[in-house]
Structure 1
Amino acid sequence: MSESSSPATVRLVAIPRLAAGGRWRVEAMRSVSEPLLLWFTRGQGRITVAGITRGYTAHNAIFIPSGIMHGFEVGPQTFGTAVFFAKGCDLPLPAQPQHLRIREALVQQELNVMLDTIARELEGRAPASDRAIWHHLGLLSVWLERQAARLGPVEPVDATRRLVARFTALLERDFRSGMGVAHFAGMLGVTPTHLSRCCRQTCGRPASALLHDRVIFEARRLLSETDLPVNRIAESLGFTSPAYFTRAFGHLTGQSPSAFRRAS
């Protein structure tokens, strides 16, 4: 692990806490700048990663590389741990998302023990805690690699899934541009109708819904976490006018941007 990504920047967060401030924080499409491991120990729901929706249950480990668009349901019975690896982490982590359904009690316990140990070391009370965290994270990366090799892919990657994964990668890169689905479809060499049909097959939603969800998540984040004026937020997200942004935000959230900011 490089000096710029020291173990001290690793975070372990209880999954229900990720939804603090609103379930939109986990359910809307977004990405994070660190590699992320979600370990569900209780509950069930659906998770969408790179435009592909699957069900998750207890004892599912889901690894999401940095910059990959995702969102997942968090119900009242959902519990587990989210591991945010450091930005720029140079551990040998999977390059592609992984959805691992861990059925063996011993393998489940291995992961639980590793996460408990990392959590204790993160308290920083013991000598050489940073070095210990680095080594335990290395063991965690080995665990991920072994389970991915043992379990294999959840389902075969076909042309539809590849197209949707490419679309979500482009969307994550360019969602602030103000471009619509037709623009992204053109970049992918397909028609908007075909792109939306593929998105419906993989996640039950048209391409436009994924685009709008990603843009409005970022709008909510900026409204709740910054003091940027509404017109600046609208401009940064590619809207042609603050009025158009206000209409779109209200249509998708039921609130005006100003009302959402006050409530946040």
Structure 2
Amino acid sequence: MTRTFASPFRVMPLARLAKGGRWRTEAMRSYGAPVLLWFTRGQGRITLNGKTAGYTAHNCVFIPAGTMHGFEMNNAVAGMIVVFPPGLEQELSLPEEPVHLRLTDAEQHIELNRLIDAIQTELEHGAAASERALISHAGLLSVWLERQIGEDEVETPREDATTRLAAAFAALVEQDFHSAKTVRDYAKALGVTPTHLSRVCNKACGRPASAILADRVHYEARRLLTETHLPVKDIATALGFASPAYFTRAFAQHTGRSPSQFRRRG
């Protein structure tokens, strides 16, 4: 008899990640675990650490835990997501920085599909020693990633002042989005004016600093509303809003629905 092995590893279609609305993929957010996105069909734009680039079919993107990101995903996009267990980054020798691979060789596609299928099969039919087997398969996937880094297919953002400032802003937002800090506060911490920070963010990812900050805050609000039973007033407090009423107004302006309406409709 087969059984599903209870494991912090997860493999699922990208379509499942998008279930519940575009905010699940497009809004700026991060995960507490490393993830690998494997786009097998379609195209769009993906933002990693404040830098936006295009992706197409046969692109593979590795995103370390705690990296703020978001990507466009319409009905034409298909692929898989692999979620690694948090805390195993060093053991598995996973990359410390985001990696965007543009795989042009059919052998690369076959190899990556095989590695992902092996993890998925172990999750679905795991028996004794499945956890060891999963770590071994994940290790092989990590080796595959390491071998691709440095090849021509790797997307390496140019490290200019704009890229560095946008990435620094994204990192600070990820660290402090639950506080009441404004764009002015972040700009002061980075030693620039709010106007310059917004200009840089617009250049790097096509949206001003205020939109990036609001996106991150309201993604977390929507996540808490759909995935927890926390009262709205507690969510408002957790995200640094001065009052539940202010949170409700801001949330409605951002999403078109009140927090209670959003929670009821999922």
1:81: how far off?
0.7
Q: Please say which of residues 129-138 and 105-114 is displaced more in the overlay.
A: 129-138
Q: Which amino acid aligns with 2:7?
A: A
1:131: how far off?
2.3
* CA distance in 1: counterparts of 2:112 and 2:217, whole angstroms: 35
Alpha-carbon contact 2:102-2:155 (below 8 Å) kept: no
Q: Which amino acid aligns with 1:86?
A: P
* CA distance in 2: counterparts of 1:131 and 1:150, whole angstroms: 30
Equivalenced residues, count: 259
**Structure 2 residue matching 1:107: 3-state secondary structure:** helix
* CA distance in 2: counterparts of 1:49 and 1:24, whole angstroms: 16
Matched, 1:106 2:116: no
Per-residue CA deviations over 1:51-104 (Å, capped at 9, x if unaligned) read 111111100000110000011111101111101010101311111111110001
1:27: how far off?
1.1
TM-score normalised over the length of structure 1: 0.94
TM-score normalised over the length of structure 2: 0.94
Q: Which amino acid aligns with 1:261?
A: R
Per-residue CA deviations over 1:120-160 (Å, capped at 9, x if unaligned) read 11123444332222221111101111111213443321111
Change over 3 Å in CA distance of 1:77–1:255 after alignment to 2: same
Alpha-carbon contact 1:12-1:84 (below 8 Å) kept: yes
**Structure 1 residue matching 2:148: 3-state secondary structure:** helix
Q: Which runs of 5+ in 1 are unaligned?
A: 1-5
Change over 3 Å in CA distance of 1:207–1:121 after alignment to 2: same
* CA distance in 2: counterparts of 1:7 and 1:116, whole angstroms: 17
**Structure 2 residue matching 1:177: 3-state secondary structure:** coil
What residue number does 2:55 align with? 56
* CA distance in 2: counterparts of 1:125 and 1:165, whole angstroms: 40
* CA distance in 1: counterparts of 2:265 and 2:11, whole angstroms: 28
Q: Which amino acid aligns with 1:107?
A: Q
Change over 3 Å in CA distance of 1:187–1:121 after alignment to 2: same
Q: Please say which of residues 190-199 and 115-124 is displaced more in the overlay.
A: 115-124
**Structure 2 residue matching 1:63: 3-state secondary structure:** strand
* CA distance in 2: counterparts of 1:238 and 1:213, whole angstroms: 15
Change over 3 Å in CA distance of 1:7–1:104 after alignment to 2: farther
Per-residue CA deviations over 1:157-188 (Å, capped at 9, x if unaligned) read 11111111111111001001111001001111
1:244: how far off?
1.1
What residue number does 2:238 align with? 236
Which residue of the other structure, out of 156, 166, 169, is the alignment partner of 2:168? 166
Q: Which runs of 5+ in 2 are unaligned?
A: none
Moved runs in structure 1, 4+ residues, more than 4 A? none
Which aligned pairs between 1:68-83 and structure 2 lie closer than 5 A? 68-83=67-82
Which residue of the other structure, out of 227, 230, 241, is the alignment partner of 2:229? 227
**Structure 2 residue matching 1:75: 3-state secondary structure:** coil
Alpha-carbon contact 1:48-1:54 (below 8 Å) kept: yes
1:26: how far off?
1.2
**Structure 1 residue matching 2:52: 3-state secondary structure:** strand
What percentage of aligned pairs have identical amino acids?
A: 58
**Structure 1 residue matching 2:177: 3-state secondary structure:** helix
What residue number does 1:3 align with? none
Which residue of the other structure, out of 192, 195, 198, is the alignment partner of 2:197? 195
1:249: how far off?
0.6
* CA distance in 2: counterparts of 1:177 and 1:92, whole angstroms: 33
**Structure 1 residue matching 2:241: 3-state secondary structure:** coil
What residue number does 1:33 align with? 32
* CA distance in 1: counterparts of 2:127 and 2:66, whole angstroms: 33
Per-residue CA deviations over 1:18-76 (Å, capped at 9, x if unaligned) read 01122211111110011110000011111111111111110000011000001111110
* CA distance in 2: counterparts of 1:200 and 1:93, whole angstroms: 31
Which residue of the other structure, out of 194, 203, 213, is the alignment partner of 2:215? 213
